[in-house]
Amino acid sequence: MITILLCALVGLAPPTDIRVFDAPSDGGGVIVVEWNLSADDASIDGYDIYRSDNGIDFSKVGFIGKSRSSYSDQTEDGVVYQYKVAAVSDTLLAFSEPSTEIASEASWINVGKINIYIAMVIFGGLILYFIYHARRGKKLFIRKIAGLQAIDDAVGRATEMGKPILYTLGLGYIEDIATIASLNILGEVAKKTAQYDTKLIVPNADPIVYTVAREIVKESYTKVGRPDAYDPDSVFFLAREQMAYAAGIDGIMTRERPATNFLVGYFAAESLVLAETGAATGAIQIAGTDALAQLPFFVTACDYTLIGEELYAASAYISKRPLLLGAIKGEDWAKVIIAAALIVASVIGLLSRFPILNLFQ
């Protein structure tokens, strides 16, 4: 009643019907304040928003221009607040009645992203479906990848010639996807070198990658029953600096004359230097990277190049493990569904531009 009398004295109508609610589908910390515009909205400067956490002392937390009737306030979850909104005209303020009490909290579900949740369920279900059938012995078709099919021939050629195999992981760190994919391939290559009793050389540019690569190679030799054939010196740290690493590998290629070079991982400007040196020594070269700028050099100078997702699918392709095969197959079908949805949406969007469709409305 006092607020109404004051507003009448100053000749300025306050906003009315203050409504407050916790912002939906968010992570908490936001309260939305809404109100009915002042009767004098056309002549005022805007609205001040006041907040109180004890119902007595109100402090200004924001300002919004005229003709607007909503404000989102950043708050602390679990704290109970009340709000007032004041119409502002020069130095005159016309306050509304206090709002009801409200506290913000995080929402369990973001309704605006329910489509992403549905997609996750569908795609996750596809992956689990194919993993289940792969474990039951069903053969899952994955298109042939020439570079991976050549691995057996490359290892066999090195064995017949009595020459080593050089496996290069590139300059990537252990958290790089290309490095992780390359480590998986290294494990499978190491199994074959253990079976054929072929010398394997694995220089590394990162200490952590070196440690992981050494354990992977050691485990691969153990899995095929040849732990005695494992040479701890076959996996070693070479250099962290880019060109020092490239020069070191070039020296190994020149001295050891490996029959097969694997250049798989993350590469930068040194890619052409490595690939050209390997080609000059007459080695079979199988390369793969997710660095798009380096792919042309590998395609030109190497016998086989893993392009794009072929690098990520390589470990599943080689090992034939059900978990990996099921995941690859499920991802492929997910891509088919996404592509089909995009095509249908594009066709509908295109046809909707033709007036003839108005006949069916």
> What is the SS3 assignment for 181-200?
HHHHHHHHHHHHHHHHCCCE
Name the pTM for this structure: 0.65
**Residue 13 per-residue DSSP state:** P
How far, in Å, CA of 194 to CA of 200, rounded?
9
Beta strands in the chain (DSSP E): 16-22, 30-36, 46-52, 59-65, 70-74, 82-89, 92-95, 165-170, 200-204, 235-237, 260-266, 284-288, 304-306
Task: State yes or no: pLDDT of 95 exceeds 90.
Answer: yes
Task: State yes or no: pLDDT of 246 exceeds 90.
Answer: yes
* Average pLDDT score, the chain: 87
46, 63 contact by CB (below 8 A): yes
| Nearest of 141, 314, 318, 327 to residue 220 by alpha carbon | 318
Mean pLDDT, residues 152-160? 85
**Model confidence band, residue 9 (pLDDT cutoffs 50, 70, 90):** very low
Phi, psi of 155 (to 5 degrees): -70, -40
Task: State yes or no: pLDDT of 32 exceeds 70.
Answer: yes
Mean pLDDT, residues 270-275? 92
pLDDT at residue 355, rounded to an integer: 60
pLDDT at residue 202, rounded to an integer: 95
Mean pLDDT, residues 143-168? 84
How far, in Å, CA of 249 to CA of 278, rounded?
9
Specify the CATH number for 2-95; select among 3.50.50.60, 2.60.40.10, 3.60.70.12, 3.40.50.880. Answer: 2.60.40.10
Indicate the pairing of strand 200-204 with strand 59-65. unpaired
**Which of these ranges, 225-229, 306-310, 336-340, has the smallest mean pLDDT?**
306-310
Neighbours of 352 (CB within 10 A): 9
How far, in Å, CA of 271 to CA of 292, rounded?
12
Mean pLDDT, residues 198-222? 94
Beta strands in 274-360 (DSSP E): 284-288, 304-306
Task: State yes or no: pLDDT of 3 exceeds 50.
Answer: no
Mean pLDDT, residues 24-30? 88
**Model confidence band, residue 360 (pLDDT cutoffs 50, 70, 90):** very low
Portion of the chain with pLDDT greater than 90, in percent = 52
**Tell me, what amino acid is at 286?**
I
Mean pLDDT, residues 116-133? 88
Q: Say if 2-95 and 140-320 have the same CATH topology.
A: no
Mean pLDDT, residues 32-60? 92
Task: State yes or no: pLDDT of 1 exceeds 50.
Answer: no
Q: What is the architecture of the domain spanning 140-320?
A: 3-Layer(aba) Sandwich (3.40)
| Nearest of 31, 37, 1 to residue 17 by alpha carbon | 37
pLDDT at residue 214, rounded to an integer: 95
Distance of CA 207 to the CA centre of its chain: 25
pLDDT at residue 27, rounded to an integer: 86
pLDDT at residue 4, rounded to an integer: 44
Domains of the chain by residue range: 2-95, 140-320
SS3 9: helix
pLDDT at residue 356, rounded to an integer: 57
Provide the token pair at 50: 């006041």
**Residue 66 per-residue DSSP state:** T
pLDDT at residue 10, rounded to an integer: 53
**Tell me, what amino acid is at 112?**
G
Task: State yes or no: pLDDT of 348 exceeds 80.
Answer: yes
**Model confidence band, residue 292 (pLDDT cutoffs 50, 70, 90):** confident
335, 123 contact by CB (below 8 A): no
Task: State yes or no: pLDDT of 309 exceeds 80.
Answer: no
Task: State yes or no: pLDDT of 357 exceeds 80.
Answer: no
pLDDT at residue 61, rounded to an integer: 94
Task: State yes or no: pLDDT of 312 exceeds 50.
Answer: yes
pLDDT at residue 8, rounded to an integer: 47
Count of alpha carbons within 13 angstroms of residue 4, beta-carbon side: 2
How far, in Å, CA of 306 to CA of 151, rounded?
12
**Cα→Cα distances 56→2, 139, 275, Å:** 15, 72, 75
The greatest distance separating any two alpha carbons of the chain, rounded to the nearest whole angstrom, comes to 104
pLDDT at residue 209, rounded to an integer: 95
**Cα→Cα distances 9→3, 12, 93, 94, 353, Å:** 10, 8, 11, 10, 59
**Model confidence band, residue 358 (pLDDT cutoffs 50, 70, 90):** low
Rg of the chain on CA atoms, in Å: 33
**Which of these ranges, 22-26, 74-78, 138-142, has the smallest mean pLDDT?**
138-142
**Cα→Cα distances 215→46, 186, 219, 231, 353, Å:** 67, 11, 6, 12, 61
Residue with the two structure tokens 């199994």: 191
pLDDT at residue 173, rounded to an integer: 93
